[in-house]
Amino acid sequence: MVMTQRIAVLGATGSIGDSTLAILAAHSHDYEVYALSGYQRLDKLFALCQQFEPSRVCVPTADVDSFAQRLKNAGLMVDVVGGAKGLTELATDSQVDTVVAAIVGAAGLPSTLAAARAGKRILLANKEALVMAGQVLIEAVKTHHATLLPLDSEHNAIFQCLPAAIQQDNTQIHERNHGVRKLWLTASGGPFLQQSFAQMQQASVAEAVKHPNWSMGQKISVDSATMMNKGLELIEACHLFDLVESKINVVIHPQSIIHSMVEYSDGSFLAQLGSPDMKTPIAHALSYPARIDSGSQPLDLYALSGLEFIEPDLQKFACLRLARQAMQTGTQATIVLNAANEIAVAAFLAGQVRLTDIADINEQALTEIQVPLLDVNADIDDILAIDTAARRYTNGLITTMV
Q: Using the rule CB under 6 A, is 48 a contact of ligand NAD? A: no
- Which one of residues 7, 8, 13, 122 is an interface residue with ligand NAD (CB under 6 A)? 13
What is the DSSP track for 202-266?
T--HHHHT--SS----HHHHHHHHHTHHHHHHHHHHHHHHT--GGGEEEEE-TT--EEEEEEETT
- Which one of residues 32, 89, 152, 357 is an interface residue with ligand NAD (CB under 6 A)? 152
Find out whether 262 and 167 touch, Cβ atoms under 8 Å. no
- Torsion angle defined by CA atoms of residues 22, 147, 157 and 331, in that order, rounded to the nearest 10 degrees: 110
Stretch of 11-19, 113-121, 131-139, 240-248 lying at the interface with ligand NAD (CB under 6 A): 11-19
Could you say which residues in the range 63-102 bind ligand NAD, by CB under 6 A?
102
CB within 8 A of 321, min separation 6: which ones? 314
Q: Using the rule CB under 6 A, is 54 a contact of ligand NAD? A: no
Stretch of 36-44, 159-167, 266-274, 362-370 lying at the interface with ligand NAD (CB under 6 A): 36-44
Could you say which residues in the range 114-143 bind ligand NAD, by CB under 6 A?
125-128
Q: Among the residues of 27-126, which ranges form H helices?
A: 42-52, 64-73, 83-92, 109-117
User: In whole angstroms, how close is the CB of 377 to ligand NAD at the nearest point?
Assistant: 26
* DSSP 8-state secondary structure symbol assigned to residue 121: E
The option from ligand NAD, Mg ion, none interacting with 395 (CB < 5 to 8 A, set by class) reads none
User: In whole angstroms, how close is the CB of 274 to ligand NAD at the nearest point?
Assistant: 13
Could you say which residues in the range 261-290 bind ligand NAD, by CB under 6 A?
278
Q: Using the rule CB under 5 A, is 382 a contact of Mg ion? A: no
Q: Using the rule CB under 5 A, is 152 a contact of Mg ion? A: yes
Q: What is the CB neighbour count within 10 angstroms for residue 247?
A: 16
Q: Using the rule CB under 5 A, is 223 a contact of Mg ion? A: no
- Binding residue count for ligand NAD, defined by CB under 6 A: 25
Looking at the Cβ atoms of 46 and 172, the one nearer to ligand NAD is 46
Looking at the Cβ atoms of 11 and 254, the one nearer to ligand NAD is 11
Looking at the Cβ atoms of 13 and 126, the one nearer to Mg ion is 126
Q: Using the rule CB under 6 A, is 342 a contact of ligand NAD? A: no
The option from Mg ion, ligand NAD, none interacting with 99 (CB < 5 to 8 A, set by class) reads none
Rounded alpha-carbon distances, angstroms, from residue 156 to 18, 24, 82, 92, 188: 18, 19, 31, 24, 16
- Closest residue to bound ligand NAD by CB: 14
Among residues 356, 354, 326, the alpha carbon closest in space to that of 339 is found at 326
Looking at the Cβ atoms of 95 and 215, the one nearer to Mg ion is 215
Which own/partner contact pairs does 384-387 have at CB distance under 8 Å and 24+ positions apart?
Answer: 386/332, 386/335, 386/336, 386/339, 387/106, 387/132, 387/335, 387/338, 387/339
List for the chain the helix, strand, coil content (%; round to 5). Answer: 50, 15, 35
d(CA 116, CA 127): 15
Could you say which residues in the range 360-389 bind ligand NAD, by CB under 6 A?
none
Binding site for ligand NAD (CB under 6 A): 11-17, 38-40, 102-104, 107, 125-128, 152, 214, 216-218, 220, 278
